[in-house]
Amino acid sequence: MNPYERVARAAVDEAAVLLREAWLEAKNVRYKGDVDLVTETDHRVEALIVDRLRAAFPDHTVIAEEAQGDGPIDQESWGEDDFVWYLDPLDGTTNFAHGYPQFAVSLALARGRELQFALVHDPIRDERFVAHRGAGATLNGQPIGVSNVSALAHGLIATGFPYDRRQHADYYLGFFGEFVRTAQGVRRNGSAALDLCYVACGRLDGFWEWKLRPWDVAAGVLLVREAGGRVSDFRDTPFDLHGDQTLASNGRLHSDMAALLTARLETVSAEAAS
Ligand code: IPD
Ligand code: CA
Ligand code: CA
């Protein structure tokens, strides 16, 4: 096991103990926005993992959701040999706060702009998804791969809604409606990191979501790719970790999902112009 994986796994295993102890307890919840909440556990897990990473890799940058890591990366001076960790200490905070068992720790390492290593751990099911660039993806040590579903009508697709959903509900529901009409089923599970892992291991066939942040998706994107799937933006142009659109699939459904999303984007822009 390489030192990145060893340190990451040890830190995430410690975090899993905290998460399992806290998930059914009363929560100390604070609102960051009208629907965006954070618990004391998000902060405790983040502090723990950032501390372990800094102790082991003092030269690395850590970008973490609750801002206990380093500040945003200066894109201009970001070198090919710079290591950056992306940490979401608790992806699925709303689920966690309600005692709904669908949340995870999501951790990825990039060198330069290239994702190298991913670890997503669901502490309730004790499922550990790991990927190494060029070496495939595993679930609890067993190799995983994307599904074989090749028709959107037979596909189980997941999504989520961003934190400005109250202000733009109809806009996001327009995209949701297209998939409800076309796919076999649509799920909204509340953890984008796990949604991507589920695409990687074939439990889901595709996933799309607006406005995810690098710490939500960095690990899941590498997992999907290493499991044989594809990730892009909605128009099937290259995925940008700092962009607004995430489309992931088993590869076979990718062009149909992108066509549906593109058509919807064009409908809304034509409506806005008229
Ligand atoms: C959220 C989850 C959710 C997604 C939201 C994310 P958080 O992350 O991934 O599934 O729909 O857009 O922000 O806030 O629980 O870490
Ligand atoms: Ca998240
Ligand atoms: Ca989070």
Structural domain boundaries in the chain: 3-143, 152-273
Identify which ligand lies nearest to the alpha carbon of 89: 3
CA of 272 to the centre of ligand 1 (A): 28
CA of 42 to the centre of ligand 3 (A): 7
**Ligand 1 close to Cβ of residue 206 (< 6 A):** no
Spatial neighbors of 263 by CB under 8 A, at least 6 apart, are 178
CA of 200 to the centre of ligand 1 (A): 18
Task: Evaluate if residue 77 carries a pLDDT over 80.
Answer: no
* Nearest-atom index, ligand 1, CA of 42: 16
First to last CA, the chain: 58
Phi, psi of 98 (to 5 degrees): -100, 0
- Enter the CATH code of domain 3-143: 3.30.540.10
Kindly report the average pLDDT of the chain as a whole number: 94
| Sequence-ordered alpha helix ranges (H) in 23-66 | 40-56
Tell me which architecture the domain covering 152-273 has in CATH.
Answer: 3-Layer(aba) Sandwich (3.40)
Q: What is the pTM of this model?
A: 0.96
**Ligand 1 close to Cβ of residue 220 (< 6 A):** no
Out of 15-24, 76-85, 211-220, pick the least confident: 76-85
pLDDT reported for residue 70: 83
Domains 3-143 and 152-273 share a fold: no
pLDDT reported for residue 59: 95
Residues 240-254 pLDDT 10s: 999 999 999 999 999
- What value does the mean pLDDT take over residues 182-204? 98
Q: How many helices (H) and strands (E) does the chain have?
A: 7, 14
pLDDT reported for residue 61: 94
CA of 274 to the centre of ligand 2 (A): 36
**Ligand 1 close to Cβ of residue 256 (< 6 A):** no
